[in-house]
Amino acid sequence: MKTGIATIPLDYGKCPKWLFERMKRLAIGISLAIVEEFGQEEFLKRLSDPVWFQSLGCVLGFDWNSSGLTTTTLGALKEALKETENDLGIFVCGGKGKVSRKTPEEIKMIGITRGFEFFEDLILASRLTAKVDSCLIQDGFQIYHHNFIFTEKGDFVVIQQGMNVKAQKARRYHWLSFKIKKFTQEPHSGIISDLRLKPLNLVAKESEKNKKIALELAKEEPKTFLKDIKLITKEENHLIKQKRLPNFCQMELEDKEFHYHPVVKEKFNLKRLEKIIEKIHFLKPENFEKLLMIEGVGPRTIRALSLVAEIIYGARPSFEDPARYSFAHGGKDGTPYYVNKKIYDKTIKILEKGIEIAKISLKEKEKAKERLWWQQRKLQKEGAFK
C-alpha cells in the first residue's frame, strides 16, 4: 500500500470562482500531458497515489493542508474532463454530499450513451468501495465525498474522503482497479491521514477468520446469533463482572480460550438487528462482498457480527490502522525513506509540461511553476534527495 502524510483539517466555505476556473484550465493541461505522454493507465495510477494527488492539489493552487483540497481538486478535474472526455476516454462521476449518491446514475448514463457493456460492474464497484470504507474500516470517519473515475476500457480509480467532526479532521481513501485482488482484503492503493487510531479494521489479512465466521453466523439460524449478541451487550447479564476501563466492561468466559475479555459498552437496536439478520439468513450471501451489498447492512450490523465472532468464537479482528504516517516525498534523514530523485524529477517534468499545455495566461503559468520550484527547492535545502 502507498503511504503518505497530510494534515487534513476540516475546512468550510467555497472555493472562489476566479480560482476554480483557473484550476479547471490547469487540470485540463496536466491531464492531457499525462495521458498523451504515458496513457490512461498511468493517469489513473497517479490519481490513486495519495501523495501525488496531494501534490496535484498544491500545483492547482488550493490550500495544501485542507480537506477542501480533495473536494475542490476533484471538482475542478470533473468539470475539466467533461470538455475532453471523448478525446481522452476518461470519465469522472460523483462528488461531495448529495452528488456522491448520484454516482451510480452518472456511471449508468455514460455507459448507456457510449455503449459500455461493463457499466453495471462499475456501479457495483462504486457501491462496494463506499461500503467497505464505511463498514469494514470503522475509524470514526464518515464518508461524505466519493469520486469514481474510469476509462473507456473499464479501468477505474476511486477517491473518497471521510470526516471526523469531533477531531475536526478528514481522511482520504484511494482505490485502483488493477491493484484490487479482493474488495474486502487490503484493497486500497493508499489511505492518507495524520490521525493514528485503533479502528475496527476488517480489510486486514488478520481479520479474514473473523469475517469468515461472521458470514457463517449471519447465514445460520438467527436465534443463535441473537442469543449471543444479547449475552454480550446486556450489562445485567451475570457474565459481566465489573467495569475496568472507560466505556468498557469486563466479561468472564470460563469455557473459552481466554478467561476475560473487554467488551465495548455499545447499545444495539436489537429489533432492527434481528430484521437484518433474518434478511441475511434468507438471502444466504455467498461471500462477504455480497453480504455488504444487502440493503440495510451497515456499520452496526458488521460490528455486531464481528463482535460475536471474536468473543464467542475467538476469531479476533485487526485493530491496526490501515492509514500510515509518511512524508510527501521522503525525508532528509531517510525516515521513512529518502527521496528518489529520478521519480521526483519525473513528477516535476510532467507537471511542468501540463502547465505549459494549459490554456491560462503567462502570468498564471509562471505562478504555477513558482509553486513547483519552491517545493523542489525546499527538499533540496533539507538534503532529502538520496
| Cell triple for 129 | 468501495
What percentage of residues in the chain have a pLDDT greater than 90?
Answer: 43
Amino acid at 249: C
| Tens of pLDDT, residues 20-47 | 777 787 888 888 888 888 899 999 999 9
This prediction has a pTM of 0.80
pLDDT of residue 333: 41
Confidence of residue 53 (pLDDT cuts 50, 70, 90): confident
| Tens of pLDDT, residues 117-146 | 999 999 999 999 999 999 999 999 999 999
pLDDT of 10 over the 80 cut: no
**Lowest-confidence segment of 203-207, 291-295, 301-305, 311-315 by average pLDDT:** 311-315
The size of the chain, in residues, is: 386
For the chain, give the mean pLDDT.
Answer: 80
pLDDT of 340 over the 80 cut: no
pLDDT of residue 197: 83
Q: Could you write out the DSSP letters of every residue in 184-253?
A: TSS-EEEEE-S-----EETTSGGGHHHHHHHHHHHHS-HHHHHHHHHHHH-TTSTTEEE--STTEEEEE-
pLDDT of residue 127: 97
Confidence of residue 166 (pLDDT cuts 50, 70, 90): confident
238 contacts: CB under 8 Å, gap ≥ 6: none
pLDDT of residue 66: 59
CB 45 within 8 A of CB 176: yes
| Tens of pLDDT, residues 225-281 | 988 888 777 654 544 444 554 555 555 555 555 545 555 556 678 889 999 999 999
pLDDT of residue 38: 84
| Cell triple for 339 | 527521496
pLDDT of 206 over the 60 cut: yes
pLDDT of 7 over the 60 cut: no
Task: Give the C-alpha distances (Å, rounded to integers) separating 149 from 122, 160, 371.
Answer: 10, 11, 27
| Tens of pLDDT, residues 350-383 | 666 766 766 666 766 677 666 656 655 655 555 5
Task: Give the C-alpha distances (Å, rounded to integers) separating 323 from 93, 178, 319, 328.
Answer: 25, 20, 12, 14
What percentage of residues in the chain have a pLDDT greater than 70?
Answer: 69
The answer to whether the bond into 336 is cis (omega within 30° of 0) is: yes
CB 243 within 8 A of CB 249: yes
| Three-state DSSP class for residue 3 | coil
pLDDT of 181 over the 50 cut: yes
Q: Any idea which residue has 481479520 for its cell?
A: 207
- From first CA to last CA, the distance across the chain in angstroms is 22
pLDDT of 328 over the 50 cut: no
pLDDT of 307 over the 50 cut: yes
Closest Cα partner for 85 from 109, 60, 51, 102?
109
pLDDT of residue 232: 75
CB 305 within 8 A of CB 333: no
pLDDT of residue 87: 84
pLDDT of 285 over the 90 cut: yes
Q: How far apart are CA 47 and CA 157, in angstroms?
A: 7
- CB pairs under 8 A, 24+ apart, for 129-132? 129/158, 129/160, 129/173, 129/175, 129/183, 129/187, 130/100, 130/160, 131/292, 131/293, 132/183, 132/184, 132/187, 132/203, 132/292
E strand spans, 253-379 = 260-264
Strand 260-264 relative to strand 248-252: parallel, antiparallel, unpaired?
Answer: antiparallel
Confidence of residue 347 (pLDDT cuts 50, 70, 90): low
Q: What is the mean pLDDT of residues 91-96?
A: 96
CB 136 within 8 A of CB 202: yes
